[in-house]
Amino acid sequence: MDGCCYPLESRCTALTARLDTIGARIDSMVTQQDTMESTLASLVESHHAVVDTITTLTDKFNKVASHLEKLTDVQPRSSSSHALSDSAPPTSAFRKNKNKIR
């Protein structure tokens, strides 16, 4: 009867060793999951910071564009281009000085 218990005892020992190996693998996976969760949280936080920065820049650009539109509304475009076409062409400073030298 003692001879038949040994195979059972060795099987229990082998099974315990396998369960220990599985437990170690699960612990390793839990650690990896914690690391990935931390990395993911950091990436999400960075993403939110980038989105906030882009939103702020967009708001600032919209304000600049609004101010520029107001400035162009003060001086109508059609009258300034019309005034330039009706006036005589300007004499360049180079031409005036060139005539004085000769």
What was the pLDDT predicted at 102? 45
User: How would you write the pLDDT of the chain (102 residues) with one tens digit per residue?
Assistant: 455 667 999 999 999 999 999 999 999 999 999 999 999 999 999 999 999 999 999 999 999 999 999 888 765 556 555 555 555 555 555 455 555 554
The amino acid sitting at 95 is R
The token pair at 30 is 């839990």
Query: What's the pLDDT at 75?
Result: 58
pLDDT at residue 1 in the model? 47
pLDDT at 78: 60
Q: What is the pTM of this model?
A: 0.47
What's 4-40 look like in SS3? HHHHHHHHHHHHHHHHHHHHHHHHHHHHHHHHHHHHH
- How far is it, in rounded angstroms, from Cα 78 to Cα 7? 103
How many whole angstroms separate alpha carbon 56 and alpha carbon 48?
12
